[in-house]
Structure 1
């Protein structure tokens, strides 16, 4: 396990990329692509508000779309419809693909936290075993947990797998957009974002790109 704590997201990202390149094990994955991989990488970003993406990583339009991704059920990020999974995918089924009620997990979390600010049950689920165990393309981010302590809102996310060079930054700012939304509605300060990546990896095609990142 590798853990790191940083004030800003980009600093944490660079630290983990360096660790993957130095200590990662080379692995050929299910798509026959070679990667360097570290298992169980945990990153805590203490100041998500002032975190900025690496220079040149986003256009302004793409950045705004990324921050809104988990809030918009029509949005897609890295080929995955996280907004739909979070806001309208799950619910009470009355048939194989027919729902009587669809669950907006963001609103459900807000209701729980407004009712009891110390709850440990404000959880958002993304992985759907009824379909994802039978698909090749499944969500990388599988769970988000929200907790309030001392008038600060903490977000913890679990990724089963993440392309650290190509996707981690996008995931972080999508999570920050969600945390900002919850913070505004609950009128509590934004706390840190913690992301646990079970498989944190870099694709071989990006090795040179990673080595060229300025520290």
Structure 2
């Protein structure tokens, strides 16, 4: 596991990950969901801490693709299934109606209100009885109060930094802020652990154009 350090803002985290993949990543065939195998550039085992997150993020505003952003935002905010992901439940359904039974965010707020010092403020997006063809990329989210600030720890089995990963981070931050506001505490850091950080060959030109512009500012 390689720790890429502590960075300011989600946009800088996105660029840091992309630079690392371009400079240190390996070309490989990436097999993810059932029947999918595509060429990627990938790093296995990275972590990163993001501090001082503020939205809107100027780097994301400059380089985002609106269609990508809207798709992932809908995934995190609209209950139901996602056609493109083998009709798996959306992140919103997994978070607010887990296994059609539990609002995990409401449960988490209640748990933290009862005990700010709990080491078990943990939720998951993995629904093992139904998640077979598609296993969620953002797999486990954990929260920890440190110095009266709410930190988030996120384990991601896989994130595509050439396409929608930056939107995942934005939506995760919004969840962090919502929970912090509900328990009347300051927002802390976001700590990422990513098993597979990659981008697909189809996005190679876009990635290199973004990095060329960003690195030469």
Scaled by the length of structure 1, the TM-score of the pair is: 0.84
Give runs of ≥4 in structure 1 deviating > 4 Å. Answer: 74-80
Aligned residue number for residue 96 of structure 1: none
- The residue that corresponds to 1:2 in the other structure is 2
Partner of 1:156: 153
Which ranges in structure 1 are unaligned for 5 or more consecutive residues?
92-101
Partner of 1:83: 92
Task: Name the TM-score, length of structure 2 as normaliser.
Answer: 0.83
Residue 44 (structure 2) pairs with residue 43 (structure 1): no
Cα deviations across residues 57-97 of structure 1 (Å, max 9, x unaligned)? 1549x56x82x854553486974600101111236xxxxxx
CA RMSD of aligned residues (A): 2.5
Instruction: After TM superposition, give the deviation of residue 29 of structure 1 in Å.
Output: 2.0
Higher helix proportion: 2
What is the 5 A alignment of 1:14-29? 14-29=15-30
Compared CA separation, residues 70 and 32, structure 1 to 2 (3 A): closer
Specify which of 144, 163, 166 is matched with residue 163 of structure 2: 166
5 Å matches for 1:1-215?
A: 1-4=1-4, 5-30=6-31, 31-50=36-55, 52=57, 53-57=60-64, 59=66, 66=73, 70=76, 72-74=78-80, 79=85, 81-90=90-99, 102-132=101-131, 135-213=132-210, 214=213, 215=215
Q: How has the CA–CA distance of structure 1 residues 123 and 77 changed in structure 2, closer, same or farther, with 3 Å as cutoff?
A: farther
Distance 1:15 1:198 in 2: 16
- Aligned residue pairs total 201
